Amino acid sequence: ILDAHFRQLPVHVDVRAVEWHSRVRARGLDQNFAALSTMPRAAPSEMRAFAGEYLMDVLYYLQPSYGQLILDEVAGQMNARYAAYMREHPGFRGGVSIVGHSLGSIIV
């Protein structure tokens, strides 16, 4: 799309993803909410998966200590990606945009 419609504009898009979910969960935090994430076997497996993957993330984020852990993880990864970009493009003097999706839009 950029080449087709914005050929004359000096635009460069570089997407660098931040994936905090698996790193935070790898620290064993799931154990703290194990009782909340268990649903009766009668519940559809999709519902159990949704609760385990998404609702638990909101519960993590709303707890002050876990929310701070998530913020620290995201900030650390963002700073590392920015530093890597600046090493790769030492003359860069442009702006940086940050976009989050779902809970990530609240985190950033």
Catalytic residue list: 102
68 neighbors 99 (Cβ within 8 angstroms): no
